[in-house]
Amino acid sequence: MSFENQLDEKNTNELIRIKCTVLEQNYFTYQNQSYFQNTGIAMGAPSSAILSEVYLQHLDHTEFIKILMKNNIIGYFRYVDYILMIHSFIQYSV
């Protein structure tokens, strides 16, 4: 989410409520048997792609920066949920 476009508290709370409802109501049917998914987001649900992208963007701007700097990563590329990292191997010869 862009820091320039912050939501007011009412809209933020509404989005959190909607997110919780979506994540807590993961029911599916397989071979005429109904199941409840305890953790994670439902594969194939329209909301899953959006929630995943929001989470990955958050990681891109917080945790991944630390990982890249700490591990000498010289290239980081992400397309949806495919990630490519290029590491710099420095070799010293005596």
Name residue 42's beta-bridge partners: none
> Which residue range(s) make up the domain with 31?
3-87
Burial 71-89 (b: 16+ CB within 10 A, else e): eeeeeeeeeeeeeeeeeee
Is residue 40 assigned to a domain? yes
Is residue 93 assigned to a domain? no
Report d(CA 67, CA 20) in Å as an integer: 29
Q: How confident is the model at residue 23 (pLDDT cuts 50, 70, 90)?
A: confident
- Domain count of the fold of the chain: 1
Instruction: Specify the pLDDT at position 2.
Output: 45
Q: How confident is the model at residue 5 (pLDDT cuts 50, 70, 90)?
A: low
Report d(CA 7, CA 74) in Å as an integer: 34
**pTM score, whole prediction:** 0.58
Q: How many residues does the chain have?
A: 94
